[in-house]
Structure 1
Amino acid sequence: MLRSLRIRTTLRNPYSMSTLSKRDLTTLGLRREDPKRIWERRTALTPGAVRELLSEQNGELAVEVESCARRCFSDSLYTEAGAKVVPSLSKEVDVVLGIKEPPLEDVHRLISQSGAEGKERNWMMFSHTHKGQEYNTPLLASFLPPAEHQTLIDHELLTAPSIGKDGKPSRARVAAFGWYAGAVGAGEALSMTGVALLKRGIGSPLLHLPRPYASGTLVEFKAALRKCGENVRSSSGLSSQGHGPVVIGITGAGNVSTGAKDMLDELNVEWIKADELANLKDAPANRVSSLLGWIFHSADKFQVYACMIPTSSFIVGQDGLQFDRMGYYQSPEKYKSVFADKIAPYLTTIINGVGWSSKFPRTISNSDLASLLGSSGEKQKLVAVQDITCDKEGGLEFVDQFTTIDNPYFEGPGGMLISSIDILPSELAADASSHFSSKILPYVRRALFPDSQGDKAAEEDTLNKAKIVEQGKILEPHSWLLPKVEAWKSSVTNGHSSNSTDATSQPKKILLLGSGLVAGPAVEVFAARPDVHLSIASNNLSEARSHVKNRTNVEAISLDVGDQVALREAVSASDVVVSLLPAPFHPEVARHCIEHEKHLVTASYVSPEMKALDDAAKAKGVLLLGECGLDPGIDSMAAMRILERVKREGKKVTSFVSWCGGLPEPSASNVPLRYKFSWSPKAVLTAAQNDAHYKIDNEIVKIQGNELLSKHFPVVKLWPELQLEGLANRDSIPYAEKYGLGEVDGLKDLFRGTLRYQGFSNLLESFRKLGLLSSEPLQRVPEDWEEFLLLSAARQLGYNKSLTIEDLPVVLSDLLGDKAMDSETLDALKLLSLLPRDPSSSPSSIPIPNLRSPVPVDLFAHLLSHKLSYAPGERDTCLLHHAFTLAAKDGSVEKVTASLLCYGDETASAMSVTVGKTLAFAALRVADGLVKQRGVTGPYEREVWEGTLQSLEEVGVVVKEEWN
């Protein structure tokens, strides 16, 4: 909607994709809030912000403001700022801006007035649709066909990159009312506590604290709090009537909780820690803490305590699992709340500032509440609950209704007063609006004028991530809402209630083949989608069932992929097949998918056997999508994102060097190979023997697999704290074509490598020389691990004579040289139980597996899976680093890097997260119909990599780019 008075031409806006009429002005429309919300007095832009926008656009902007007598800023102030105050917004408005969702009739009126061709328009609001809220399904449907060119940008989704509390990249909201909700919520909670105590026969200064809206401004409200605090400290003759000290507990750790804490600081409360609450239970009301312990004064002096209650103080792991924040968010079903037992009995008031979703344990469930209230007839201490989050029947399950500013609380179980007001910031409307306006102004400006000054890339990124609908189409990751909209439309067509969502479309049926080490994170992604039904098929049914975890949209089925009839039936019953099976199984699965016209997604490289199925897949309209893991997977997706920009800017890649690897974190690497296994060791061992082909410093290099380890790169400097080396990874040359880098001759470097800690390659090369990585079967199954080493090594020397364990030193010396007996290799062989035991030591507890064919690499992989496994509390890490050199048309050179450093935790390894979740997010894009390509391919098209990378970023797997 960018227009110019001087250039009358058709331009394009990235937030509105159709062409524009030749009208002179871009128009911003500032809505009045829904008249039914009588207390909603906020505004998204203050008169000052409107004046600023108009002054900087030099006559190219018009602002319409709907007249509203109750808004915290008067119509006359907007008129003075240069806006046009109107009874209702005109059809000329390009951006419609408000706080909360508008009345449906206003939306329909504005869209219907836009004419037959439709008017492209951006709507910015807290729409309350992106969580699938049923009551706003009709609103969401309003922006979809038959309406055209409508884009919905949700304030709640406006986020920008930040660093989370765990030190990892995250995204934080840029425009919110959270602090004001917390501040006002604390004021309401204190005032309500005064009333609740009075019902118990206890008078207190809190009874006389004005409610926030009565103060008018934040400054005046803070003054009232300080005055109340002075009254608390100077009060005497007040009896607690057995209630004990007044204790206010605040849950949460975000802006809401901070706002509440700041107001309690104005009251000058005495702060205590969560683990000190029990000490207050039977103490006089005025006990205070000191460095020397607890000091008691006159029992008649009234005192208020407060406590910030971190999640770690009341969420505990089941079956002895220690609380871990990352683990809790990834696998909440493994945890439970003990708030009702450990925290609530000592609180007078709860101020709840922590949100809740159905996959997390409730802070207090109704069953928890029953035990808290008890049956002895003794009244509980808890008298007031202020639920700022307004999650009806959510984290506090007994909060089962909303309240309003004019009816702020209701009486709940045990006589508690409960408040759940969803527009708390409106009580301090002018202050809250000024804060919000300052935060959202850059994004309103960017939506109006895409080429305006400021941080264009960052602001566009924030706006794009906040879109739910663009040009009448629901975007990822919100496509799961579409069936809800269709069901609502169907119910309206059939004469049902306009708010009915009982009718639902058929769920998307995903078949997951395999239940091993990377299945857990993939299942989490699928199970989080209510429109998906997941079937986990495995020959280990108990393992598959362990992933179900009472999820209603997940089932486990027994399946041996060697049973072609059963496999065919499972594939035919699905919409999309996702395979975690070893790569050799994929062609057979793919043939069933082609037969039944089902799509297949895997994390494995596209093999020649799979590529041979390309024509058959295309003929049936089937997608066989591979390489959707970490490496291959995220590496290609991250590269394609950079290369898309390179192409757009008309630059040329002259060098591409990529490294990727999965390693233990340094503290867990003090073992042979400096490596531990979070998945199949055999894959690591065989990868270290692949042929390699690459280009470095304008020279083409080919390495045979038996030379790969000896020709490793001894030092790779990427992260200063990590001592890394590297191995060439397979054939890099085809990536010139796969990535669209141009001719290989035009590239100085074209290299893909695997990262390991220094020392890995030399030691593994010794193991290779000893025959431990061989794929040729031994003549017999060894009786123990010492004989395994002897048989493997002897065959390397071509010995036909019968050998005994006593011959092993000579065999080792012949293979590795005389220094082998005092080298790192010898120490490693001892630690791996491959050398004869000291007579006083106990034998290895790891049995030789009874394999039909005793292949050394299989036996060695089995041994390593036990000897080099992760201990409890140890983490792995996944590393990725791309380095591009670009040449611009003007001859300048630019360096671009993309890097990922992802750590695992006790609930899931980094490898399983980066492979499993990537696979699942890509598969969901296929299931949602967002990938139009057919045939055999990898994640090289934007329709795959863009949405998958976005979804990964939302769960904390972020590839960081730097352009220099």
Structure 2
Amino acid sequence: MISSPLRRPLCQHARIIRSNRWLTTIGIRREDPKRIWERRTPLTPAAVSLLARAGEVEVEVESCQRRSFPNKEYEKAGARIVPSLSPKVDLVLGIKEPPVSEVHRLIDAEKGRKRTWMVFSHTHKGQKYNTGLLSSFLGTDNQQTLIDYELLTREKADGKGRERVAAFGWYAGAVGAGEALTLTGLALLRKGIATSLLNLSRPYTFNSLDDYRAAVREAAAAIAANPPPEPIVIGVTGRGKVATGAMDILKELDPVWVESDRLSEITTDASSSSKVIVSNLDPAHYMRANGKENSYSRVGYYADPSKFKSHFDEVIAPHLTTLINGQGWSKGFPRILDNAQMEAQVARAKRDGSKPKLIAVQDITCDINGNLEFMDRSTTIDQPYYDGPGGVMISSIDILPSELPKDSSEHFSDCIIPYVRQLATGAHDAVLEDTLSRATIVRSGTITENHKGLMPRVQQWRNENVGSGRRAMSTASRDSGIHRKKKVLLLGSGLVAGPAAQVLGSRSDIVVRLASVDAKANDAMSAKYANMSGLTLDATNDAAASQAVEESDVVISLLPAPMHTLIAEHCVNHRKHLITASYVSDEMQAFNSKAEDAGIIILGECGLDPGIDSMAAMRIIDRANKEGKTISSFISWCGGLPELSASEVPLRYKFSWSPKAVLTAALNDAHYKLDDQIHHVQGDQLLAQHFPSVGLWDGLPLEGLANRDSLLYAEKYGLGTVEDLSNLFRGTLRYQGFSRLMDSFRQLGLLNRDALDQQVESWTDLLLQSVKVSQRLPDSTRSEDLPVIVKDIVDSKVADDTLQALEWFGVLPNGKQNTVSRPVTASRSMAPIDYFAQLLSNRLSYHKGERDTCLLHHEFVLHPASMDASQGGPGQKVTASLLAYGDDDASAMAVTVGKTLAFAALRVLDGKVAGRGVRRPLDKDVYEGVLDDLESVGVKVAENWA
């Protein structure tokens, strides 16, 4: 526990009388992840426990790994840890202002729900950078109330005016003094003087204020044992809590305290044995009216500050080693030290051939160009100081209390808990109600009378950010909240982009930026929709990508899967949601904690497979669970194929998406369970161990391949343990003949992923080099030998089919290779699979009038929960099937992937998805709406509950 006199025990607040509750759920939000050092919390676990034990409220706490109190302490106190606050939250508590997107998310999630926000909003002074935030609370249909901690005031004990109820000023002063001591040690070292202050760690490295006090005392003892050659003189300006906190820490140095008018005496006294001197600087000693000494009076000063001028540079500064500024400044008042005075000091020192005695400045107020005009920038905990005029070291950290987050949070929590209880329980306490009323900027969507003067700024902001002034002004009469249009960044202009853009383009309440390196494709597609514009963007350009992400609300990435992590980094940094169709890789999963802390969702696997397959499965699984049934078997097939009439080509396959992805999928290891037997298939055996006949749709001659690790889906889908399932299988559909021919290509080395030693000059050269490497043939092997070599390598049953296919592709040395495209070679060496993907993309593309089809089929076996599957017979069979065809506008693959992505993104954008972190579309708030939206555009997964 801290020793500050500001602390009050929680039990003192228990006297508040409880009446009818009107707020039932309190939400403690995580702070903006861009504020990496903001580790404070408005309510400690102890305060939460007090509220929970009284049965007065429910408390949600957004999961955060940075917060000074870990999640588990809040759980023990009775709170629920959530990835993001739910729409049912009635009172949102935070330290700093929330992002506008967070306010919109909760408003949009439940329109018209009354909700109160209690934060340091930084809006009541008309701060331009937060006008958009203030606007987001306004609107009688929004029903939001905004209370600002900074405006919580009560009558002083002496009845002379009011004082702030909840502030961190004392802690800012305490930590600021600590930073000043570290800064002084470094500044003295620059002068060639080493003191024990060099060994004093900065405040943020300590667990508590008491620990830091002890360290300061150790430093003081070391100074006393080995004193510096001249006294360390520290001056503190101000009379409020900031100065009080600073001097409370400086007491631990056991200094000599002197009045500021005696500084010149004691610092010039050669016999002085005091090695640390501290003075709380009195304005009466340096502020003069009309140049007259002893002319300062507080009343006169505040009545007409224009009469006064500071002589700090003459009577105080020459005697200080370190200045700690804890006195605020307002326009119209004289500065303690202006630029001209500081420059004159530096000039005097140069004339005298000496250095100024003042070597360190800690400006706790962080008023840029304020009382210390030469203090022209704020600093950070990471980079705490910079060199000012004459080499003076200046520190101006604006979040000092966050360096002692636990202690400052405990103090703050004690200060605000009676007001939180007042709001949460509706207790009748007139004093508290009066304080809360003064601190309310917006009440139920309407700006309060005391803050009506802010409305012109709000209207100006709306005019600049929303649309016509007429529209903004027409709503001003009722203080209606006009939300800016939400922004979607669609990265990539490939095959899938068209259907995604079609969905996004139908929403007039959003704006879409279509971004890719292909400016022509961007412009052509964006021209189709009024709400869309093109952006030429290379996503590997970090600065450009970062800016594009920052200017959006939701990012949809159609980029290659390896690039998703680059975009995810930007999304975390700027707190923007990310939606992709790719599998959630280990690299993407590693973003989970960062995404949770940022309050965003990184939603992967929103395509066909993965995507619709998982959503359709979860819809059945959740219904089965609701009906009290268990699942004993799950078999799933999915595939994208040409329509049967377009399949009369080698492999019986055409490409509506990445050829290389199709090739690599045929090389993955597979794990599954069928008929109570677990199977493990190595990637080089996957094609050989295919399923030769899969009878799902009449007239479609299908075969199948096992798809990666099916066993993971027991946990992923919540199916129970693998041991409890007789079947657990996911497979990929192809037309019969695909696997045997593709396996021949594998044996010939065309699917090898190791780079060749030399570049490929022709498609025949590709086959020759691939065969020579894979079969370790001599360099003398000639292209003319290839037909014979192929027959020697592949199974005799498919040798003729393989040769015919290679001839059709223009690979064999018979002249036909000159009629097809030539290999495109990169500056680096490439692998056979990369070249082969080029060839297949060229030769197995769709022609005009040809359609593709997407197929999906799930089969479950259910049993009543009370019945053991091994004893109960065949069980209930439930299926889910999708058969979708492409058309002249878009392929079925592009539609099922692109529209699924877009519908998922819109649900996130509209605040209908509660989860945060790295997720898959396995929750009802994702899959239910997306499947319904897909059905509305003709993509229907039909269920059959036999």
Q: TM-score, normalised by structure 1?
A: 0.48
Bigger radius of gyration among the two: 2
Of structures 1 and 2, the one scoring higher in RCO (CA 8 A, sep 6+) is 2
